[in-house]
A and B are shown apart, each in its own frame.
Chain A
Amino acid sequence: MPSVSLTHLDELWFQVSGTHCNLTCDHCFISCSPHNRSFGYLSLSDVQSSIAQATQEGVREFYFTGGEPFLNPEMVDILCWTLQHGPATVLTNGTVLKEEWLAKLQEAERQSRYSLEFRLSIDGFSPETNDPIRGDGTFDRAMAGVSLLCEFEFLPIITATRVWDDESDLEVLAQFKTVLKAHGYSRPRIKLLPTLQIGAEENRTRGYLQHEVVTDTMLSDFDQHNLVCSHSRIVTDRGVHVCPILIESPESNLGQSISESLVPFEIKHGACYTCYQYGSICTNASSGNTLSTTEPTVNPPDTAREDGDT
């Protein structure tokens, strides 16, 4: 079974709102919803404690995800505090943002030498393509969030999960840009993500197939820095886990402290296969960690291991 060592803690993630979300998206890989409280919120104090530990490891930047991070009542304070210590990225659905929060965050970023990145999830360029995935009315609400972020001079990275054929990428991207410009976003940044065949997505389409696993052979001539587990960890209210994708897998919890979590991890999950194919899909392009999302490496079924585990 292939095992990946952490070469350095480049990014520390926080599951800052647990699995609590105001939306219930059909493709959510950890099935977040208004009713899913299996993971709880992190407090400002929790974040401060973990960042203090991570700085001892020379951490480079910080990411905040959920659920919907801005359901956490301390989210704005958490980001303002974090920006005094390093770059911060927050992954939001953009539907609950408030002007007073963005004014405060704009000022915090101005006072900081570091960037505050918003990654805003939209999965279609129209209500007809987005709302069946993310819920009725979510396209218009998310676009209102985009417009609001632009008013405060943020340049959100629009993340879209590829729920269309790979061949349609250029056409879909062009339509996204047209729509975003019409909503006041004059130079849109867009990041395409592959689907992860776990959580709600397993029911929407399918789970991982038996052959969709990473093998020792596949890693023999592969730059392991393209795997997020080689340079990231994520803090939840249960402990420190290997990566943002696998928090629901019991073996992903590597300990209660950052130092305990710096151990090798067996990449036996189907989601590890997607990470292998597409590179560190979770991190921003500015880190230079990602592989191309247009021509993934494919593991032919006849060369794969037979006892895959998702």
Chain B
Amino acid sequence: MVIHSVINQNTKIKSRFALFGGVYSNYLALEATLQDIRQRGVDAIYCLGDLGAFGPHPDRVFPLLQNNHVIVVQGNYDDSVGNALNDCQCGYTDPRDNHFAQISYDYTLQNTSEPNREFMRGLPPEIRLTVDDQNILLCHGSPHRTNEFLWESTTSDYYLEHLLEVQHADVIAATHTGIKWNRKLDRGLFVNVGVLGRPENDGSTNVWYTLLELHTDNSWTVNHIPIAYNHTALAREMQQEKLPDEFVDTVLSGWWTTCLEILPSKERRRGKH
């Protein structure tokens, strides 16, 4: 567990944090996101894990994170690549999904330098913040498991209330699913901050990060921010790296073409494939 103290600003908004997950080697979206965050101004920037996967040139992500003082939680991909495990621990069962997941994983493992893999190995599985009397828990999948999918349509209020209670948290932030959402509950707030690595299966090419704002009355505001970036350049680089056409198609179309089995029916229905 890592605890960071945050100095409050004497304004209506006491604190503002930027959070994102699932960079998936999309360094162009990361650059655009960091620029947007700088323009808005925040107290701290957090990445909730999964630095590699899917995109090209995984090593290009690390200097951007480190030079911009982004505090990073370990995702399942970071654990796998950092420790050179056999697969990404995403838990796919469909042979087609496993096929593409393994291509992505093998490419990322082969193209991530040892110093960056060491960085991944050293990342914490969760981070706890205390802002005044507000306790914030940052994790990758869920506080229970790094690779648990918390989808909007398959996560009951009872489960989220339970997590907030047993974790003594006012806010829990996670990622892992690839699709942003948030829910205010009796005990606090749950936020899935979205991912930068690929669009979220809605036919738009932009990706998403999240601004969390704490107000003077200790209420929270959640703003999911769309980020447009040079996705055609990313697609070209993916093609040059001989990554699957299916991945390139997702970047250019905004529709998921792989890893579809993990989507619950409501989320799957919104997509094209």
Band of interface residues on B: 35 or more
Of A71-79, A109-117, A138-146, the one touching chain B: A109-117
* Shortest Cβ distance from A62 into B: residue: B156
Complex Cα distance A294/B260, Å?
18
Of B28-36, B46-54, B89-97, B223-231, the one touching chain A: B89-97
A191 pairs with B93, CB closer than 8 A: yes
Task: Annotate B157-168 by CB proximity to A: 1 below 8 A, 0 otherwise.
Answer: 111011101100
A87 pairs with B153, CB closer than 8 A: yes
A58 pairs with B162, CB closer than 8 A: yes
Chain A residue contacts of B260, Cβ below 8 A: 187, 189
Q: Given A58-B162, A117-B264, A190-B94, verify A7-B156 contact (CB < 8 Å).
A: no
B268 pairs with A155, CB closer than 8 A: yes
Check: A169 CB closer than 8 A to any chain B CB: yes
Check: A129 CB closer than 8 A to any chain B CB: no
Which residues of B (101-128) have their CB < 8 Å from a CB of A? none
Check: A309 CB closer than 8 A to any chain B CB: no
Smallest CB separation, B87 vs chain A (Å): 8
Of B56-64, B142-150, B194-202, B204-212, the one touching chain A: B142-150
* Shortest Cβ distance from A289 into B: residue: B91
A291 pairs with B91, CB closer than 8 A: yes
Complex Cα distance A292/B266, Å?
24
Which residues of B (132-183) have their CB < 8 Å from a CB of A? 141, 144-145, 147-149, 151-159, 161-163, 165-166
B93 pairs with A117, CB closer than 8 A: no
Check: B261 CB closer than 8 A to any chain A CB: yes
B148 pairs with A114, CB closer than 8 A: no
B148 pairs with A287, CB closer than 8 A: yes
B154 pairs with A170, CB closer than 8 A: no
Check: B10 CB closer than 8 A to any chain A CB: no
Q: Tally chain A residues at the interface, Cβ within 8 Å.
A: 43
B265 pairs with A154, CB closer than 8 A: yes
B161 pairs with A58, CB closer than 8 A: yes
Contact of B269 among A113, A155, A288 (CB under 8 A): A155
A-B contacts, 28 of them at CB < 8 A, read A7-B144, A8-B162, A10-B159, A55-B156, A58-B159, A58-B162, A58-B163, A59-B159, A61-B154, A61-B155, A86-B157, A86-B158, A115-B154, A115-B267, A116-B265, A173-B96, A189-B260, A284-B264, A285-B93, A286-B149, A286-B262, A287-B154, A288-B148, A288-B262, A291-B93, A292-B92, A293-B93, A294-B98
Q: A57-B162, A169-B95 are in contact. List 11 more A-B contacts (CB 8 A).
A: A58-B158, A60-B159, A86-B157, A113-B153, A155-B269, A173-B96, A189-B268, A285-B91, A288-B145, A288-B147, A294-B95
